[in-house]
């Protein structure tokens, strides 16, 4: 019997968090869902973090993913934006870690390269390639959802390869791998 696994991909953000789910059956990838959590109407940053955590837990409890792939924050010039994005990623990771789901981070360029063959591809190019690969009937208005889906597909393509990115199997592994940053 062919083993199935589900990968949840997340594009963290405090304005919009995008996510996508794929099912792997053998060596075949099947589209399950893509959507987003729209946080624009909330002004309280801590409330946004709470909602990101709760939505991630809800996705985990509903779909029981075997693995989570998350887009790592890119380094920009705006320190405040980086801090907010890092917090959004952190609470999404904490949700997965609280359910003991292995998490792998991917840089945006690595995700784009895995999907399109070009690390500098636009969001639109990534979305169109996903539409073709997964036979999606339409694309969402905001492409954060396809970015989340792209993280999941990137993880599938990198499964079994050595050095896929930072990977955490639980809190203990996270603490051990980040000892220098923690204390």
- Pick the catalytic residue: 67, 71, 105, 147? 71
- 64-101 core/surface letters (b: 16 or more CB in 10 A; e: else): ebebbbbbbbeeeeeeeeeebbebbbbbbbbbbbeeeb
Task: Identify whether 11 is a catalytic site residue.
Answer: yes
The sign of the torsion formed by the CA atoms of 165, 51, 173, 26 equals negative
Nearest-angstrom CA–CA distance, 157 and 149: 13
Task: Identify whether 100 is a catalytic site residue.
Answer: no
Tokens of 64: 């029981």
- Pick the catalytic residue: 11, 36, 105, 147? 11
CA angle, 34 then 27 then 144, to 5°? 20
Nearest-angstrom CA–CA distance, 50 and 55: 9
Task: Identify whether 44 is a catalytic site residue.
Answer: no
- Pick the catalytic residue: 36, 105, 144, 147? 144
Is 71 part of any known ligand binding site?
yes
CB atoms within 10 A of CB 161: 7
Q: Mind telling me the catalytic residues?
A: 11, 71, 144
Q: Which residues are annotated as a binding site for Mg(2+)?
A: 11, 71, 144
| Binding site feature residues | 11, 71, 144
């Amino acid at each position: 019997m062919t083993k199935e696994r589900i990968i949840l991909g997340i594009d963290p953000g405090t304005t919009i968090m995008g996510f996508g789910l794929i099912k792997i059956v053998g060596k075949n990838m099947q589209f399950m869902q893509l959507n987003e959590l729209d946080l624009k109407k909330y002004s309280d940053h801590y409330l946004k973090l709470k909602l990101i955590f709760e939505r991630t837990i809800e996705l985990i409890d509903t779909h029981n993913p075997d693995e989570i792939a998350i887009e790592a924050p890119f380094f920009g010039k705006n320190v405040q934006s980086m801090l907010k994005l890092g917090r959004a990623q952190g609470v999404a990771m904490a949700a997965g870690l609280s359910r003991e789901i292995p998490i792998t981070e991917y840089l945006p360029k690595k995700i784009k390269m895995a999907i399109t063959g070009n690390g500098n591809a636009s969001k639109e190019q990534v979305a169109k390639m996903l539409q073709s690969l997964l036979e999606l009937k339409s694309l969402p208005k905001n492409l954060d959802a396809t970015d989340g889906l792209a993280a999941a597909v990137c993880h599938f393509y990198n499964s079994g390869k050595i050095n896929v990115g930072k990977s955490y199997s639980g809190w203990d592994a996270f603490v051990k791998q980040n000892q220098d940053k923690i204390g």
